[in-house]
Amino acid sequence: MTKASGPQAGPYQLLKRLGDGELGGVFLAADSAGRHAIVAQLIKGAAEADQQRFAEAVRALALGEADGAGVLGAEPKAKRPWVATALGNPTGAETLFAAFDPTLKIRRPVPRSAADLVPPDPFAGIPATGDTARSRALMPIVVTVAIVLTLCLGLGTAAAVLAGRSTTAKPNASNWTPMDHPMPVTTPSTQPTTPTPSAPSVSPAPEPPTRGSWPAAWKKFSGTDKTRVIDLQGLPLSFRVPESWGCLVLSSSATSTVVSCIDDEYPNSQGPRVRLTFRSCPNSCSATQQRQQRADIETFGQRWITADAQSTYAEAKNVTTTIGSGRYVLVISRFFHSRSGAALDRQLIVTGSSGSDRVGQVQQVVNEIRG
């Protein structure tokens, strides 16, 4: 469904940026009735010659199809010229714009049908513990070099895959596992648990969460930031990280998957890092179970803030952790369903941390993941 306000292209609400170039971008969009389309739109103030080239490309696209059926709308003479095409059109807006602007980089998968808009089961296709997972490139222009490692973790031996690196050098595996906070359990219980004396202490957020919204001040990637796309096999999302970062699947099973992303070029183990933990709810993610599954997440005592219907976050600044002092920690908990129309049955926990010098990078990656 469209929102009441936001970026527009004629009657289309621009919902998500799929790619960008020097002359404009490609977007997932929807009209007021919720019908989705792919929109290509020029930058504001584009040169007259570029506007003319764009208009000619749009005209050629419409004439090249049977009655222009795949072209849903266009305004070549608007302040920001645009064209909208149907999902799955093999010569659609993204193809037109790639030919028009060679600098275009597609950063998110382009939906081909309505089925692509339904979030998939995050555990479908994820190899079971002991299998070898593989990374895959999002687009041919994205080069993904996979280095397979086997890490012996507290959760057992699991396949580990490095994704999104441009080097064939072996990463420093010891840098990937430390975090500023204890790991949440990968198989939650339906009953409150009593920590064992040997378990790491956790300072969970007080309940209930405080009403709020996503902070507008959190940094996001700009068009000039050097990034790479992380698109690991079996995960329900792809996202960008800074160019010097990479991601590893630390563990996977039938009910959970843990992915660690760090700046592998940072000079020591105190660099910025983000970890994603996908886990299922034992029965369903009822309000009581959601509260239970937030209780083992370290927030250093900061209260959860409700950002949307199924998401909460907590932010701690200048805290002392097992990695060091003066650390910044950002945590998000989101509940979702693995099948369209089904009850909530999955949880994604995103935990990011850094020193004061890389707070912006952590916020950029977390913003990418939360969409």
pLDDT tens across 298-318, in order? Answer: 888 889 999 988 899 999 999
CB 204 within 8 A of CB 291: no
Q: pTM value?
A: 0.54
Q: How many helices (H) and strands (E) does the chain have?
A: 4, 19
pLDDT at position 228 over 70 = yes
pLDDT at position 323 over 50 = yes
Enumerate the CATH 3.30.200.20 domain ranges in the chain, comma separated: 8-117
pLDDT at position 339 over 50 = yes
pLDDT value at position 253?
80
> What would the two tokens of residue 286 be?
């009822």
Distance CA 145, CA 187 (A): 31
Higher local confidence (pLDDT), 201 or 114: 114
pLDDT at position 182 over 60 = no
pLDDT tens across 56-75, in order? Answer: 888 888 776 544 446 788 89
Residues 6+ apart with CB under 8 A from 61: 68, 70, 71, 83, 85, 91, 96
Instruction: Identify the architecture of domain 8-117 in CATH.
Output: 2-Layer Sandwich (3.30)
- Tell me the mean pLDDT in the region 313-327: 87
pLDDT at position 217 over 60 = yes
Q: Where are the beta strands (DSSP E) in 22-163?
A: 24-30, 36-42, 71-75, 82-85, 105-106, 148-153, 156-163
Which residue's structure tokens are 């687009």?
Answer: 139
Highest mean pLDDT among 26-35, 37-46, 82-91, 243-252: 37-46
Q: Where are the beta strands (DSSP E) in the chain?
A: 8-9, 12-21, 24-30, 36-42, 71-75, 82-85, 105-106, 148-153, 156-163, 210-211, 227-230, 239-242, 245-252, 256-263, 273-280, 305-308, 311-319, 327-336, 346-354
pLDDT value at position 237?
80
pLDDT at position 268 over 90 = no
